[in-house]
Amino acid sequence: MPIKDILLPLVGDPDPAAVAAIEKCVAMARDIGARISALAIEVDIPVRPKVIVSDDIGNSEATEAARSVSNARDLLKAFDAASARSGTRNEQQVRRSEALAIAATLAEAARLKDMSLVPLKSHDGQDEKIVEQLIFHSGRPVMLCPEEFAEKLPTALNTVAIAWDHSAPAARAIADAMPLLKAAADVRIITASDAKSAAELESGTALVNHLAVHGIVASFEMLGIGGSSVGKIFEKYVNANAVDLLVMGAYRHSRLNQFIWGGASNTIIGRPPCWVMMSH
């Protein structure tokens, strides 16, 4: 199914990196021929009655609430300007939400979109929670746009790497990414393992054959881990091979297991090295 309808969550501070990521997400939507719908969140902060003790003492809750409204409006202004410049089909909306319900609100909104395109700060707890909720509760794929690298990210996804481990999440991610894989010039299947077992080699070859049925020419290679982590191996591969998009399944193991022991999903979500498309 082609990607025609994209959700862009807008949460947090409208700093230069966030604005750059918004502009790049809008450009991505334009280049794949999709409509992009921005959903800005104003945090609903209960404001307690002000008790006058001194003229110098302000109401911190009121200040925080006003800042949240201002941030949402500034993020939408950046989105509106980027959409106008690029001529991208777009919609925009503002919703109020309690802080603890933001991620769930966005996941619910994403269920009637083809994909969520998420600007992401490195190692940001709130952003990671939003991505996790979208992955598990939207029923749709998520594409991560790292704010740290936003200005350098291409919108033409010519080189795509597929992280393959023969799991159900990885298979779902490939199906969701099929329109992007068909448009890519270079598709690479990578499996991180020191074992290099016959079953892993057979699985990679089988995926090459499956993609060929869809008209996609792909290569397959095994990557040794050698005491590192799978997530770091993927990051190293992306940087060494100028990969534009990494496609991978998210959370093959339980979230609790990944939280305690770490895992590729946590590593990549914490600091995506490029555009990353994830499904579960």
Directed axis angle between helix 125-137 and helix 102-110, to 10°?
40
Nearest to 234 by CA among 171, 187, 164: 164
Angle at 253 between CA 236 and CA 222, to 5 degrees: 35
Q: Confirm if 39 and 127 have CB atoms less than 8 A apart.
A: no
Instruction: Answer whether 0.75 is exceeded by the pTM.
Output: yes
59 burial type by CB count under 10 A (0-12 exposed, 13-18 middle, 19+ buried):
middle
Percent of the chain with pLDDT over 70: 91
* 267: helix, strand or coil: helix
**What does the pLDDT look like over 143-200, one tens digit per residue?**
999 999 999 999 999 999 999 999 999 999 999 999 999 999 999 999 999 998 999 9
Residues of the chain with pLDDT under 50: 53, 55-57, 254-262
How much is the pLDDT for 64?
80
What is the rounded average pLDDT for all residues in the chain? 92
Residue 12 makes CB contacts below 8 A (sequence gap 6+) with 18, 71, 75, 121, 126, 127
- Report all structural domains of the chain as residue ranges with CATH numbers, in order of start: 5-145 (3.40.50.620), 159-279 (3.40.50.620)
How much is the pLDDT for 50?
57
